[in-house]
Amino acid sequence: MRKPCLAALVIMFAFSSPAFAHFGMVIPSKGVIEDKKADAISVELSFSHPMEMVGMPLVKPKAFQVFVDGKAEDISGSLQAVKVMKHDAWKAQYTVKRPGVYQFVMEPQPYWEPAEDCFIIHYAKAYVAAFGEGEGWDVPLGLKTEIVPLTRPFGNYAGNVFQGQVMLDGKPVPGAEVEVEYYNKDGKYSAPDDYMVTQVVKADANGIFTYGVPFAGWWGFAALNTADAKMKHDGQDKDVELGAVIWMEFVSPVKK
């Protein structure tokens, strides 16, 4: 199994508190659309430590697509520069025109992380279900690396269990390590200690992992592996961390 950047492990042992996880972020303004009058959404793209609300700059992504019924549409032309967590980020407006499951996928430019002595590329995606349609969410998109949901990735209550399968080059990753963080956008929560900022679970021999979501909001799952090929930085070969990231919204029931 290909591991995350080895330097990241060194960093973790070099300090008394754990290193916080990086997350490529794709956050739609809503995860479900039922009203035709509310068919316009925005999708926010950023790179950050989401629980701690510490941002990093995201240059314009290499690719930004939406997949519907297995067909990809390039929507990178709709990206507009914004600030998220005080750093460069991007936002796109999109109008949902017909029933379907919409998968928004970002492939960023490689990000050089000096603290980990490696490049980071996170293939991040999120789902929006529209007008009662709910088919096709479990079909792999064929990304370099991705988490294929085994739990429907929309219409979930807080407290539900999420299962996903980590894929790399179209194959399951046995024993993959998956980092989990909450998007603490409103600063509503504070972790009781540093170990609680990033939750960690391991996949089984088939690359399948399970996590019980404790409270409502957007949650990110990032499975990390190291690419076979290296990239040059200042004339030296450096590792490339490949992240398969999926973002999902979990909601609380509405009280009558």
Q: What is the mean pLDDT of residues 173-190?
A: 95
Q: What is the pLDDT of residue 3?
A: 52
- Measured CA to CA, the distance from residue 160 to residue 156 in angstroms comes to 7
pLDDT-derived band at 10, boundaries 50, 70, 90: very low
> Quick check: 4 pLDDT over 80?
no
Q: Which residue has the higher pLDDT, 53 or 20?
A: 53
Average model confidence (pLDDT) for the chain? Answer: 91
**Of 12-21, 126-135, 155-164, which range is least confident?**
12-21
Secondary structure class of 173 (helix, strand, coil): coil
What global pTM score does this model have?
Answer: 0.90
> Quick check: 7 pLDDT over 50?
no
How wide is the angle at C-alpha 37 spanned by C-alphas 217 and 44, nearest 5°? 40
- Measured CA to CA, the distance from residue 10 to residue 147 in angstroms comes to 26
- In the chain, domain spans: 6-251
> Quick check: 1 pLDDT over 80?
no
Chain segment 225-241, per-residue pLDDT in tens: 999 999 999 999 999 99
Q: What is the mean pLDDT of residues 191-208?
A: 96
Partners of 231 in the beta sheet? 238
Structure-token pair, residue 156: 């979930």
- Identify whether the C-beta of residue 252 lies closer than 8 Å to the C-beta of residue 157: yes
> Quick check: 143 pLDDT over 80?
yes
> Quick check: 15 pLDDT over 70?
no
